[in-house]
A = this chain, B = another copy of it.
Amino acid sequence: MALSVEKTSSGREYKVKDMSQADFGRLEIELAEVEMPGLMACRAEFGPAQPFKGAKITGSLHMTIQTAVLIETLTALGAEVRWCSCNIFSTQDHAAAAIARDSAAVFAWKGETLQEYWWCTERALDWGPGGGPDLIVDDGGDATLLIHEGVKAEEIYEKTGKLPDPASTDNAEFQIVLTIIRDGLKADPKKYHKMKERLVGVSEETTTGVKRLYQMQANGTLLFPAINVNDSVTKSKQFDNLYGCRHSLPDGLMRATDVMIAGKVAVVCGYGDVGKGCAAALKQAGARVIVTEIDPICALQALMEGLQVLTLEDVVSEADIFVTTTGNKDIIMVDHMRKMKNNAIVCNIGHFDNEIDMLGLENFPDVKRITIKPQTDRWVFPETNSGIIVLAEGRLMNLGCATGHPSFVMSCSFTNQVIAQLELWKEKASGKYEKKVYVLPKHLDEKVAALHLGKLGAKLTKLSKDQADYISVPVEGPYKPPHYRFNFWWEFVFVGELGPGTNGEL
C-alpha cells in the first residue's frame, strides 16, 4: 500500500485496508460487546466521570474486533486514541475500518510488510508537535522499544554527532527501526526525548514485552513507569494462554486446512500454559498428543494427563500436526521439516516467528512454495516431492489463520489494561510510580474475574466473618490469604546451594 495518511471527514487520520468494511466491523464489535462484560462494566462505572479527559493514548496491539471494544472503552472514558497493530498479520480489516471511521486514529491492516509495520508504529506515536502520547498500551513492547532506541540514538547523536547506522546490524527488522530513528533524528534531534518527557507510563500486555521491561529495569534503562498487565492471573497465567489458546488453536487449524484432527498424531513443543491449552484442545478433538519439553516438572505434568513426552527427533517423521508454544527459538528446523510426512502441518502459536526456522525453509535449495490461500502455504521439497503445510508464515497462527482469542478471554485481559491505564493516569502527578515495573494487586485481579461471572450465570459463596478469620482473609477478599504466596518457590528463603544469600538475585 502507498504509505500516505488519510483523513476522515472529521479530520481524524488513519490508514486501513478498506473503509467500506466499517459497517461489518461495527456489527461484529456490537456482538463482541456482549461477550466482554468486564469492559462494558468499566464503561458503566467510570464513563460518567470521564477520567481520561485530556489523555492521549497510543496503542500497539493486534487491531482486532476485541481491541476495538478496548479502544472504545478508552474513548468512552474520555481518552483520545491512536492505534497500530503489533503484528503484521493480526489486524482484522473490518475492525480497523470501524474504529478508524468512528473512534480513533488507526494505522493497521492485515499483511503489512515490516517496513509498513514500523511506519504504522511511528504514525501511532505521532501526536504532532507537542510530543508523543501520555500513555501507551503496548503488546510485545515495540512502541516502548522504539522510544527507548530513539532516546538512546539521540543521546549518542548529541554526544558524538553520529547517526544510527542501519548497516550496523544483520537483523533486517532492526535495520528498519534504525532507519526510522535516523530519519527522525535528522528532522528533530529531540523527538524521542520529547516523547519520553511527556509519557506517564506504559501498560504491557505480553510475556515478551514484560521480559524486556524487567531487563530494562534491571539495567536501569527504563525511561518511564510500566505496569505489567501480563502477570495478572486473569490475564496471562490462565486466561489468555490456557483458555484462549485452547479455543483458538483448533479454530486456526480448521480454518486454514479443514483437516480432521481426530485420529491424527499432534506434537506440541512446550508444555507451559500455552502448550497446556494447545495440548488439551488437540486431545479433546481426538488427536494423540505428544509433548516435547526441557523442564522435568512440566514433562511430569504432561505425563499425568496421559500425554507422551518425547523429543522432536523421535516423532518428526510420524506426526501429522506440529505446534510450537515454547517462547524459545530454533524449535522446528528445516532439517526436521524435510523428514516430515507429506502434508504435515507446521505452525507456531508463540509470539515470535523464530520458533520455526522459516529462514532455513525459504532458503532450502529448490524448495517450492505453493500458496493454497492466504496464511496457508504448502512447501514442497525437491528431493521427495513431498510437502508440508506451514500456517501464517510461522507466525501467530491463531491470529493469522483465525481470529485470535475469543472476546470473552480478551475481556479479562483488556479490563486489566483499562484498570492499569486508569491507575497510571490518576497518579501521573503524584510520583507514586517510579521508573519501575509494577503489577496490579490481587484484589483488582479478583475484581476482573468477578466482573465476568454474571455473564456465565455463576453464584459466589460468601464467607462468614468467622470463616474469614479462620483462614485470615477479609470477608470481601482478596481471598488468597497472605500466606498463600508461600505456595510458590520463588518467594522463599531458599535452602541449599543457592543459599539465602543468593536469593535476592533470583
Contacts and interface: CB of A to CB of B under 8 A. Distances in A.
Interface stretch (A6-14, A155-163, A176-184, A449-457): A449-457
A305 interface: yes
Interface in A219-277: 227-228, 231-234, 236-239, 243, 246-247, 250-251, 254-255, 257-265
Contact of A479 (B247, B292, B295, B301): B295
B432 A499 contact: yes
Contacts of A467: 328-330
A437 B495 CA distance: 10
Closest 6 CB pairs of A and B: A485-B490, A284-B284, A260-B406, A309-B458, A296-B449, A439-B492
A297 B439 contact: no
A258 B95 CA distance: 14
Contacts of A215: 483
Interface stretch (A26-34, A107-115, A128-136, A143-151): A26-34
Report how many copies the assembly holds: 4
A373 B329 CA distance: 39
A378 interface: yes
Nearest to A214: B483
A210 B486 contact: yes
A423 B464 CA distance: 42
Interface in A61-75: 65
Interface stretch (A47-55, A190-198, A440-448): A440-448
A376 B296 CA distance: 33
B460 A485 contact: no
A330 B466 contact: yes
A438 B494 contact: yes
Nearest to A248: B254
Contact of A27 (B210, B372, B459): B372
A488 B246 contact: no
B479 A294 contact: yes
Given A453-B303, A460-B309, A466-B330, A496 B343 contact: no
A406 B258 contact: yes
A246 B260 CA distance: 10
A336 interface: no
A251 to B, nearest CB: 5
Contacts of A420: 495
A310 B261 CA distance: 20
A2 interface: no
A261 B407 CA distance: 11
A495 to B, nearest CB: 5
Interface string A296-325: 110111111111111110100010000000
Given A450-B296, A470-B329, A493-B437, A408 B263 contact: yes
A461 B329 contact: no
A151 to B, nearest CB: 23
A250 B261 CA distance: 12
B263 A303 contact: yes
Contacts of A243: 260, 262, 286, 304
A490 B445 CA distance: 12
Nearest to A273: B487
Contacts of A262: 243, 246-247, 303-306, 408
Interface in A415-443: 420, 423, 432-433, 436-443
B284 A27 contact: no
A342 interface: yes
Contact of A297 (B28, B234, B491): B234
B294 A462 contact: yes
Contacts of A444: 495-496
A458 B443 CA distance: 40
Contact of A31 (B310, B343, B443): B343
A260 B402 CA distance: 13
A476 to B, nearest CB: 10
Contacts of A264: 456
A134 B309 CA distance: 41
Q: Which of A234, A257, A301, A486 has the most CB of B within 10 A?
A: A486
A289 interface: yes
Contacts of A484: 490
A52 B259 CA distance: 30
18 contacts: A31-B389, A210-B483, A214-B486, A238-B304, A247-B254, A259-B408, A262-B306, A284-B284, A293-B461, A294-B463, A309-B458, A309-B460, A330-B467, A420-B495, A436-B493, A440-B489, A444-B495, A444-B496
